Structure formats: structure tokens, C-alpha cells
Amino acid sequence: MGLRKMGPNKRNLAVGAVMALMTLGLGVAAQAQEMIRRIDNPPPGHPLPEIISGYEFRAPETQALQDDDFDNPGFLWVEQGEELWDEAEGKAGKSCADCHGDPAESMKTAGAEYPKWNEKLGKPINLEARINLCRTENMQAKPWKLESEQMLSMTSFVRTQARGVPVKVQIDGPMKPFFEKGKKLYYTRMGQLDMACANCHEDNYGKRIRSDMLSQGQINGFPTYRLKWQKVGSIHRRFKGCMKQVRAEPFKPGSDEFTALELYVAYRGTGLSVEAPAVRQ
């Protein structure tokens, strides 16, 4: 039985039992992986003098929480996604596994490559949009809402298959106009506070704002478990929150604007390892 199917009391007991086994040295240690979290010499033309994962800006306690797959609360969503992978749905009676087989093989780079160009739609789509296209076209099932437990679980599960793989998104060819649109949005001042993404995440990273430290705003760890949210959330939710903080009217999650911004911000993290599900403040 997966943790998702247990009641809260049984789930807590199950997690506690696992932790007890770990204490006794009988648990399975988190998989050791070589993670690229800092690039001191970005490629020519990159806007940053150094590329640094948000992990490096977190407190040691938060880093430790992310590093251990048993402690990392985001793995509750990963486990739910694993169950959904094998769950047949829709009029076609298909599951993700029916088309894609072993996710460790079929999805091993997917989490590092989105947003990607979709020829049929004539625009880039992110991982969430790709999942919903699979559901509506191949499974003949209803699409999931973007911040639903199902979508967050599936994106967490898929992205986790690419853990350790360097981020590399396409920005040329048909993607170029959307890349430029995302870049323009990144540097456009918005809202009553008249601020752009770059004001925090390019001009002032490494400085403190209240009790938090500003990072470069890299997205290689999304979907991310935020301590503030007490759950996993998408990058579009984070974009929306940032726009609200500068008192701007946010774009709609899943919109072309946020997808273009996601493409540009993913490019800024080129070469960083996918580390979803990350843990952030």
C-alpha cells in the first residue's frame, strides 16, 4: 500500500517506522548523485557571471531536508505520481506506462528539456501542458487542473526521473521569438513597486530581504516543496506569487506569457542539475 492510500495516522506511523529503521542503520540511504549546483564560467553571452542553484542559498537544515529522500516532504508527491503513472484512465483505458513504459528510461531527460516546441500547437509547451495533452489525446481523459494534487504529483514524479541531468532547453529556431518574449518579461518593471525579476534575482542575489536570502531564481528544482506553502507547487505558482509581491496583476498559470518566462528562466539555469523535488523556504 502506498502512503497516499493511508490515512494520516497510518501514514505518520509508516514514515516513523522508516525513520526508525534508518536510525538503526537498516534503512535505504538516499541515492548519492553528482549534482551540478554552481557554474563559475557560464557560456559566452549568458547574462550571469556565475550560475548558482537556489540550493546554495538555503540554510544547512533546509539543504539536509532536501538531500535525504526519506526526509524530503516532496517525495510524498513523487510517490503519488508513481502510482498515477500505472493508473489507467479515460475512454481509451490507458495509463502513462502503456505508452511510455519504464519512466526511468523514457523520462530520464524530459525534466531537463521543457518547455519544448509543439508542432501541432505552433508554440512551446511546458511539462504540465504536455501531460494534459497526453491525457486528452491519448487517454481520452479529462485534463488535470494545473495546481491539482494529481498534476503536482505527476510533474514531481516525471521531473525526478531526470535528477542529476543538466538543464538544456532549446532557444533557437521556432523557440526564439518565445525566448525573446520571456527575456523581455524578465527585465520589464511591473506593478506598483515598479520592479522586474532581474531587480531581485540578477542585481541583488546573495543579499537578504527580511529573513530570507535572495537567490538567482533558478527553476531546476521545480516542482518544489516550499516550507511557506507546506506543499509542493509549480513554477507558475511561484511566478504568480512574485508578481503579487510587486503588486502587479499576475498572468494566468499556464498562459503563453508564463510559459515564455519559464523558457527564459530555464535557459538562465543551463547546465545546472535537475534536483526536483527541491525544498525551499
55-68 pLDDT per residue, tens: 999 999 999 999 99
Taking residue 126's Cβ as centre, other Cβ atoms within 10 Å add up to 21
- Whether the ω angle into residue 115 lies within 30 degrees of 0, i.e. cis, is yes
% the chain with pLDDT above 90 = 86
| Mean pLDDT on 76-102 | 97
Residue-level pLDDT at 119? 97
pLDDT at 13 over 50: no
Residue-level pLDDT at 210? 78
193-235 residue pLDDT tens: 999 999 999 999 999 987 789 999 999 999 999 999 999 999 9
pLDDT at 252 over 60: yes
- Grid cell digits, residue 175: 523557440
- 242 classed as catalytic: yes
214: left (phi over 0), alpha (psi -120 to 50) or beta: beta
Residue-level pLDDT at 32? 45
| Mean pLDDT on 11-39 | 50
Predicted TM-score (pTM) of this structure: 0.87
Residue-level pLDDT at 101? 97
pLDDT at 151 over 80: yes
Residue-level pLDDT at 14? 43
| Mean pLDDT on 153-165 | 97
169-178 residue pLDDT tens: 999 999 999 9
% the chain with pLDDT above 70 = 88
**How many residues are recorded in the chain?**
281
